[in-house]
């Protein structure tokens, strides 16, 4: 179960695709594709 208490729209709307993936990787390992994306491959 996930509970979202607050979303800071001003902050997340300014995130790049890379930043979104990096934040996701803080919680999950990601996929082979997202790992390559972060490495710039």
pLDDT digits (tens, 9 = 90+) for 10-41: 998 999 999 999 999 999 998 999 999 998 88
Whole-angstrom Cα Rg for the chain: 12
Query: How confident is the model at residue 13, as a pLDDT?
Result: 93
Confidence of residue 2 (pLDDT cuts 50, 70, 90): confident
Say how far apart CA 8 and CA 28 lie, in whole Å.
21
Among 39, 9, 12, 8, residue whose Cα is nearest residue 23: 12
Is 2 within a domain? no
Say how far apart CA 14 and CA 11 lie, in whole Å.
6
Tokens of 11: 């902050």
Query: How confident is the model at residue 1, as a pLDDT?
Result: 85
The number of domains in the chain is: 1
Is 24 within a domain? yes
Is 30 within a domain? yes
Q: Where in the sequence is the domain holding 23, given as residue range(s)?
A: 9-39
Is 3 within a domain? no
Query: How confident is the model at residue 36, as a pLDDT?
Result: 92
């Amino acid at each position: 179960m996930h509970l979202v208490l607050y979303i800071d729209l001003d902050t997340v709307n300014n995130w790049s695709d890379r930043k979104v993936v990096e934040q996701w990787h803080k919680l999950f390992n990601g996929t082979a594709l997202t790992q390559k994306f972060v490495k710039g491959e």
